[in-house]
Structure 1
Amino acid sequence: MDIHFQYLKKRKNFGHQTLFCEVPAHLIDSIDPSPEEYKRYILRNPVHQASQVGKNMSQCEINTIRVEYANEGANHAEGGWPKDVNCLDEEATLRYRRRIERDDCYVNAVLSTFKKFNHTIKQNNAIEMYQMYFHGMPQECAVEKYIVTNKNTFRDGGARPVSCIDWTIEEDTKMVVTYCNKTYPYEGTTVNKNLEGYVWSVENPNTPFYELRPPSACWQIACSPASPSIIVGGLEDGRVCIFDMRVQDEPTIISPFHLAHRDPVSSLIYISSRHNNEFFTGSTDGSCLWWDIRDFSVPLDSMIIATEVPPGEVLSLAHAQPVSALQYDRSFPTRFLCGTDTGLIINVNRKGKTISETMTTIFRAHNGPVKAVHRSPLTSKMFISCGDWTVHVWSDEVAVSPIITGLAHKYPITDVCWAPIRISSYMSISTDGKLRVWDLLRRYKKPIVSFLVSVNPLMKMKPHEDGRFLAVGDKKGATFLLGLSESLVLPGSQDKPVMLQSYERENRRERILENRVKEIRLKMKAEEEGELELAVIEPDDEEVYRNAEEEYKKMLAMEMANMGVVTSKINRSRVR
């Protein structure tokens, strides 16, 4: 269909014809500057101002078309024969082969590929593929490159200190971080006003995946090994609570006040049970409580951590040692390690009836509070601890001194942990903002990696169970997700037997030194009891240890010589 519109206008309404011509330039108007405006003009220094020309871009999420893939294959046992040719019939295959060979395309294809085939055949004949050309050369070990990278940074809006970090046990693992200032509440007052904790997805550092809203500041956190949506929190008022991310952001269950700790919960650990529903807590009031998440009406058990009780008095919290760290290993169901604010590490037997049976071994570990204690993934008899400015490695069989004494740092150590898979390595953080990775086999007195994580003091760290990621939190609310290179994650082929030999050697050395010191002291005591005319001068402790260590080195050299091993000068010094 033809649709048109007719527009009519008279010629006189078009206006006059425009005629252009060249004319000389002439002044139309001139505006002179005003003296008054000139006086108001003031010179100023250059001002630098940044501006953003690009527009703000927003993120849009859509569901794309899902493509399904399928793996299909074919088994050609006798080439790609056509369907009408039976490959098992020799006459049929021979007739088909003759028909193809008469084809002109077949002849041209053979002639075109002749040069390439000829070159390849001559090259194969010139080089012996199975000959070992470099058989006599010594094999060189690969150079290990230790690399630590910052993958993501998760920041708290209120810049609160990180109090605890844990990982959920699921395929798409997430980071659970709580924030608070661990200041002891005085007369019911607290410095923590903002109480929220966050569950972060490792791929999204901008927005928390989930928020936790406890009724009080959360000092400790632990994720359930049975259900990734269940999170247990230890609060500042001494109570414990259960968060269920499937229900709400507030606690679903809270323990009653009259059955909780009197001080803030300083440590919280799951223990082995049939349904993974039991855990126990420690507090600076000196008590440990065992709980079941199915029933918070009353604790399963309780214990007061006390090393000694004066004669005639009943065990109470007045004799307790304030608990600062706990460690539990599934290989010892009734035993756990307890670190105190007084610098002690106590090997506790839960089933003991007396104090001597309960507090089986006491290690005088540090000059200040024990920040962390962890058993080695290699052997359960060895554990590591940190406090004040040092990190020590201990053995359950030697309580007098550590089997590996750490060097004193310039800044206080705030946390330490073993590498989950690399059994000879451990990691430590300090208030100077640095992460240090140590290896007891490759470099004894210096860290193999020293990485500056933050300019603020580091508070807590937690490695992932596969060892490739490490979460570190600082004092200003920033949680850093660090990635470790493969050389820092996987152990060497001989690391386990060599580390066991080193552990046994150091353990034996400490026992020899301990026995030698006891003999010297008994000898001195016998001489003092005897009626000697000359006064016996008690030797210095350093001289006693030095003499005992020299005797140990001589005995070790003799044993190695008997085994047929060429010994070199033992260059080991004991740091005390």
Structure 2
Amino acid sequence: MIDYYYCYTNNKSEIGKQCKFSKSKSQIVGRIEPNNQLKKKYMYKENINYNGENIKKYSEEYINIESVKLENKFFYHSEGGWTKDIDISEHQNKLKYIKRLDKDINLINSLKYLMNETTKIINKNNCINIYEEYFKDDIKNEEHFKIKSLLVIKDKLRKYNRFVTSIKWANDNTHKIAISYCVNNYQKVLNNTPKNCLLYNLNEINNPYQTLYSKSFIKCLKFNHKNSDLLLAGSYDGTISLWDLRKKNNLCESSSINSSHKNIVNDVTWLQTKTNNQCLSTSSDGLCLIWDIRNLSNHIESFYLNKDPADVSDLFEKSNIISNNLGGTLLVGNPTKNTLDEPTASKLDTSDDNYYSANYIEWCLEAGPSKILVGTDEGYILSLSKRQSKNLELLQKYGIPNEKHLSAITSIKRVSINLKYFLSTDKWGFNIWSEDIKFPIISNYYNESIINKGHWIHDSPFFILTRKDGYLDFWNILSNFNEPIIKHKICNSSITEIDAHTNNKYLSIGNEEGDIHILKLGKSFCTNSSENKNALDELLERESKREKNLEYIRKQLNCIKKKKEYLSFSDIQIQDQQVEETEQIYDSIRHN
């Protein structure tokens, strides 16, 4: 038998491609002649028939169940209370006896007395609803604090090692969430590093449904409290950005660098106006700027957070100590000018020494549209006021040098049960303040781990502290002042941001690796009884009264000390011999 074949060569890159056929005329490639020897070897085989069944077989059995025995029983009800003389079977005799009793005066008086007693009992019984549980709270149910991890949103650009800077939920009931990222040493990275923000919908979590592009890395985000389609952002280059999610293009409107902050915009917030077009931004340069989103080319108002003279004098003393250690001198008359060497002077010469460095804003419409709380790096909380047709003004400073935060304030949240009180956190602990008192009414500092953020759950006595070691601490001051009731492990990296949905059921946690963890809280965290609300309100009110009494005692002690110093100074008597000696010393100095 002749083998017919055709050999051809081709490149490896072209192998495996789709075959392409074309029409052509028929051609005879080869011809095979019949072979009689092979024909003789061919054998015919008969067909083999086989029958089989593929049906399940069932068996049938009869079983006698146990019989039920039925039995009829009868009850006979007979009348009682009749005397022996009366036959019950005769109806006429019973009627005569009843008429005789109706005319008896003793029976009538006894019935009146019994009716008064029975009516009281019946009225009490009618006041009670048989379908309502009156003693429901007496049954003590164990609280189950459930925390469920729903999903994790991974950063798809892990090669840049981005961390989460801000997470914000939309103010409406939708499950939309905005996320911003940044990288370490952002000033040294190349321009091709992505600086965009992502918008996710929890119903479709595989990919972001919208990408928002920015010119710089974003530090903070904030949705408009009236319109969730407007998203405000503060950038690392000192500008603010605005996105309108209703537009097709995802580019932002940014403010000009010349009219913006000198340093990073640490926080932004919307203000309550007639048109809802104004917003506030703060930075570590000590400047608060108010913007109109219809024209971001220039801010409409600026306000400097000036320090108190006592704080400035403390800063000068510290700078003098540093300069003496470095071998230089510092002029006390003008602290901005010094006589140090240039490299040493550049470290100490800070133009923002006279202003507080703001890093967090807390604004709540329910607490008052004009009330604004600002947290500073110095550990103080400043209360600002912005009224209609008036400029920003500083109302009060919370904290004194001995009773303030030990480091920069990382977050401020108002207590939703009573908006008069608010929570603030720093790296080492938390404080709870009242608007009426400059001192914290509740303080707690512990060295277990560094605290990054704090969040008070809406309409609940619980608040959450995020830690650098990846734990969430759930606190309830009604149960314990010193320890959290739950410590929940989220990840192995530092938690940088936290935010909660409007219904309190969902928490979003961001960490240094760029991951977003979505948690679902149990009913014990979300629902709150009226008794717990009243207990928390009474607790905070009692602590605030205690601090007011302590402040009054401090003032009285200071007055007593001043009086003693004045009396001791007036009682001093200078002798004539001492005066003559001092005059001789001055004369000798003048002659020399």
Q: In the alignment, which of 482, 486, 489 is matched to residue 445 of structure 1?
A: 482
Amino acid corresponding to residue 563 of structure 2 in structure 1 = A
Distance 1:393 1:191, change over 3 A: farther
How far apart, in 1, do the equivalents of 2:136 and 2:226 lie?
54
Equivalent runs, 1:54-69 vs 2, <5 Å: none
Amino acid corresponding to residue 521 of structure 1 in structure 2 = N
Equivalent runs, 1:357-372 vs 2, <5 Å: 358-364=394-400, 365-372=404-411
Amino acid corresponding to residue 273 of structure 1 in structure 2 = T
Please say if 1:142 is aligned against 2:141.
Answer: yes
Amino acid corresponding to residue 179 of structure 1 in structure 2 = Y
1:229 Cα shift? 2.9
1:355 Cα shift? 13
User: Match for residue 566 of structure 2?
Assistant: 529
User: Match for residue 166 of structure 1?
Assistant: 168
User: Match for residue 519 of structure 2?
Assistant: 482
Please say if 1:152 is aligned against 2:191.
Answer: no
Equivalent runs, 1:280-295 vs 2, <5 Å: 280-295=280-295
2:169–2:501: 8 Å Cα contact kept in structure 1?
Answer: yes
How far apart, in 2, do the equivalents of 1:359 and 1:136 lie?
49
1:244 Cα shift? 2.6
Q: In the alignment, which of 416, 428, 436 is matched to residue 397 of structure 1?
A: 436
1:191 Cα shift? 9.9
Q: In the alignment, which of 359, 362, 365 is matched to residue 324 of structure 1?
A: 359
User: Match for residue 551 of structure 2?
Assistant: 514
Equivalent runs, 1:12-91 vs 2, <5 Å: 14-16=39-41
How far apart, in 2, do the equivalents of 1:192 and 1:436 lie?
38
Larger radius of gyration: 2
1:389 Cα shift? 0.8
SS of 1:342 mapped into structure 2: coil
1:238–1:264: 8 Å Cα contact kept in structure 2?
Answer: yes
Please say if 1:343 is aligned against 2:400.
Answer: no
How far apart, in 2, do the equivalents of 1:351 and 1:358 lie?
12
Amino acid corresponding to residue 164 of structure 1 in structure 2 = S
**1:103-147 CA distances to partner (integer Å, 9 max, x unpaired)?**
xxxxxxxxxxxx9xx99xx9xxxxxxx999x99999321111001
1:243–1:249: 8 Å Cα contact kept in structure 2?
Answer: no
**1:412-439 CA distances to partner (integer Å, 9 max, x unpaired)?**
11100110121x1111101010011111
1:18 Cα shift? 6.2
Amino acid corresponding to residue 307 of structure 1 in structure 2 = K
Distance 1:355 1:232, change over 3 A: closer
User: Match for residue 559 of structure 1?
Assistant: none
Q: Aligned Cα RMSD in Å?
A: 3.9
Distance 1:429 1:137, change over 3 A: closer
1:221–1:231: 8 Å Cα contact kept in structure 2?
Answer: yes
1:163–1:182: 8 Å Cα contact kept in structure 2?
Answer: no
When structure 1 is superposed on structure 2, of 252-261 and 188-197 the one drifting more is: 188-197
Amino acid corresponding to residue 148 of structure 1 in structure 2 = I
1:383 Cα shift? 0.7
User: Match for residue 46 of structure 1?
Assistant: none
User: Match for residue 268 of structure 2?
Assistant: 268
Q: In the alignment, which of 445, 448, 461 is matched to residue 407 of structure 1?
A: 445
Distance 1:247 1:390, change over 3 A: same
1:247 Cα shift? 2.9
**1:233-266 CA distances to partner (integer Å, 9 max, x unpaired)?**
1111111111233335543421111111111110
How far apart, in 2, do the equivalents of 1:356 and 1:307 lie?
16
1:265–1:281: 8 Å Cα contact kept in structure 2?
Answer: yes
1:180–1:192: 8 Å Cα contact kept in structure 2?
Answer: no
**1:154-209 CA distances to partner (integer Å, 9 max, x unpaired)?**
11122411000101233432110101147685xx8789933122111213443222
1:297 Cα shift? 2.6
2:178–2:200: 8 Å Cα contact kept in structure 1?
Answer: yes
How far apart, in 1, do the equivalents of 2:137 and 2:304 lie?
62
2:176–2:200: 8 Å Cα contact kept in structure 1?
Answer: yes
Amino acid corresponding to residue 196 of structure 2 in structure 1 = E
SS of 2:530 mapped into structure 1: coil
1:489 Cα shift? 0.9
Distance 1:289 1:394, change over 3 A: same
1:438–1:449: 8 Å Cα contact kept in structure 2?
Answer: yes
SS of 1:257 mapped into structure 2: coil
SS of 1:518 mapped into structure 2: helix
How far apart, in 1, do the equivalents of 2:233 and 2:141 lie?
45
How far apart, in 1, do the equivalents of 2:509 and 2:422 lie?
21
Query: Could you tell me the TM-score, scaled by structure 1's length?
Result: 0.65
Distance 1:307 1:335, change over 3 A: farther
How far apart, in 2, do the equivalents of 1:373 and 1:390 lie?
13
1:506 Cα shift? 0.3
User: Match for residue 178 of structure 1?
Assistant: 180
**1:263-302 CA distances to partner (integer Å, 9 max, x unpaired)?**
1110011122223322211111111111222221322321
1:504 Cα shift? 1.1
Amino acid corresponding to residue 337 of structure 1 in structure 2 = L
**1:511-557 CA distances to partner (integer Å, 9 max, x unpaired)?**
111212222333233334334999xxxxxxxxxxxxxxxxxxxxxxx
Amino acid corresponding to residue 151 of structure 2 in structure 1 = N
User: Match for residue 574 of structure 2?
Assistant: none
Equivalent runs, 1:166-565 vs 2, <5 Å: 166-181=168-183, 185=187, 193-248=193-248, 250-308=250-308, 319-330=354-365, 331-350=367-386, 358-364=394-400, 365-399=404-438, 401-422=439-460, 424-531=461-568
Amino acid corresponding to residue 325 of structure 1 in structure 2 = Y
1:340–1:370: 8 Å Cα contact kept in structure 2?
Answer: yes
1:492 Cα shift? 1.9
1:469 Cα shift? 0.5
Unaligned runs of 5+ in 2: 1-33, 46-67, 76-128, 314-332, 335-350, 572-592
How far apart, in 2, do the equivalents of 1:169 and 1:296 lie?
24
Question: Across the two proteins, how many residue pairs are aligned to each other?
Answer: 416
Distance 1:427 1:131, change over 3 A: closer
Unaligned runs of 5+ in 1: 1-8, 21-114, 123-129, 535-576
Distance 1:529 1:272, change over 3 A: same
